[in-house]
Chains A and B, each alone.
Chain A
Amino acid sequence: MHEGMLLPELDEESAPFFAYAAAGELRVQRCASCGTRRVPPRPMCHVCTSTDVEWELLSGRGRVWSFAIPHPPLLPAYAEVAPYNVVVVEAEEDPTIRFVGNLVLSADGPLDEVDPSSIRIGEAVRVVFSSPVDDGQGAVVLPRWVRDA
Chain B
Amino acid sequence: MRDRTAVVGIGTTEFAKQLESSERRLALEAIAAALDDAGIAPGEVDGMSCYSMESTEEIDVARNLGFGDVTYFGKVPYGGGAGCGVVGQAAMAVAAGQCSVAVAWRSRKRGARTSRPWAGVAQRVGGDQQRWTRPYGLLRPVDEIAVLTRRYMHTYGATRDHLANVALAARRHANANPAATMGHKVMTREDYLAARWISEPLCLFDNCLETDGACAVVITSAERARDLPQPPALIHSWAQSLPAQHQTMTNFFCDDPLRGPAWACADKLWSLSEVGPADVDVAQLYDAFSPLVLLSLEGYGFCERGEGGPFTDDGGIELGGRLPVNTSGGGMSEAYLHGFNLVVEAVRQVRGSSTNQVPDAEFSLVTSGEGVPTGAILFRRDG
Q: Which residue numbers of A lie inside 8 Å of B, CB to CB?
A: 5-9, 11, 14, 39-40, 42, 46, 65-71, 73-75, 78, 83-84, 86, 88, 96-102, 111, 116, 121, 135, 137, 142
Chain A contacts for B196, CB-based, 8 A: 71
Count of B interface residues, CB-CB < 8 Å: 38
Select A102's contact among B131, B137, B139, B201, beta carbons within 8 Å: B137
Q: Is the CB of B252 within 8 A of A6?
A: no
* One of B82-90, B122-130, B345-353 at the interface: B122-130
**Known contacts being A7-B124, A40-B132, A116-B200, is A70 close to B137, with CB within 8 Å?**
yes
Select B131's contact among A40, A46, A69, A116, beta carbons within 8 Å: A40
Select B154's contact among A39, A86, A121, beta carbons within 8 Å: A121
**Known contacts being A75-B139, A86-B147, A121-B151, is A100 close to B133, with CB within 8 Å?**
yes
CB distance from B58 to the nearest CB of A (A): 32
Chain A contacts for B247, CB-based, 8 A: 40
Chain B contacts for A40, CB-based, 8 A: 128, 131-132, 247, 253
Q: Is the CB of A8 within 8 A of B124?
A: yes
Question: What are 17 A-B residue pairs whose CB atoms fall within 8 Å in the complex?
Answer: A6-B123, A6-B125, A6-B134, A6-B139, A8-B134, A9-B124, A9-B131, A40-B131, A66-B147, A68-B143, A70-B139, A71-B200, A78-B139, A98-B252, A102-B136, A116-B200, A142-B136
Q: Is the CB of A74 within 8 A of B139?
A: yes
Question: B156 interface residue, CB < 8 Å from A?
Answer: no
Report the nearest B residue to A68, measured CB to CB: B146
Q: Is the CB of A100 within 8 A of B154?
A: no
State the CA gap A3–B133 with chains docked (Å).
18
State the CA gap A100–B150 with chains docked (Å).
15
State the CA gap A101–B128 with chains docked (Å).
15
Report the nearest B residue to A13, measured CB to CB: B128
**Known contacts being A7-B125, A96-B254, is A88 close to B135, with CB within 8 Å?**
no
Question: B275 interface residue, CB < 8 Å from A?
Answer: no
The 4 closest A-B pairs by CB, nearest first: A9-B126, A68-B146, A69-B200, A66-B151
CB distance from B362 to the nearest CB of A (A): 40
State the CA gap A69–B126 with chains docked (Å).
23
Q: Is the CB of A8 within 8 A of B132?
A: yes
Within 8 A of A (CB), among B79-135: 113, 118, 121, 123-126, 128, 131-135
Q: Is the CB of A86 within 8 A of B138?
A: yes
Chain A contacts for B138, CB-based, 8 A: 68, 70, 86, 100
Question: B199 interface residue, CB < 8 Å from A?
Answer: yes
State the CA gap A16–B136 with chains docked (Å).
19
Question: B148 interface residue, CB < 8 Å from A?
Answer: yes
State the CA gap A83–B124 with chains docked (Å).
22
Chain A contacts for B137, CB-based, 8 A: 70, 74, 78, 84, 86, 102, 111
Chain B contacts for A135, CB-based, 8 A: 123-124
Select A71's contact among B121, B134, B199, beta carbons within 8 Å: B199
Report the nearest A residue to B138, measured CB to CB: A86
Report the nearest B residue to A98, measured CB to CB: B252
State the CA gap A81–B249 with chains docked (Å).
24
Chain B contacts for A121, CB-based, 8 A: 150-151, 154
State the CA gap A71–B136 with chains docked (Å).
14
Cβ proximity bits B336-355 to A, threshold 8 Å, 1 near / 0 not: 00000000000000000000
Q: Is the CB of B199 within 8 A of A68?
A: yes
Q: Is the CB of A71 within 8 A of B255?
A: no
Report the nearest B residue to A145, measured CB to CB: B136
Select A6's contact among B121, B148, B150, B201, beta carbons within 8 Å: B121
State the CA gap A11–B150 with chains docked (Å).
32
Report the nearest A residue to B200, measured CB to CB: A69
Among A66, A69, A99, the most chain B Cβ lie within 10 Å of the Cβ of A66
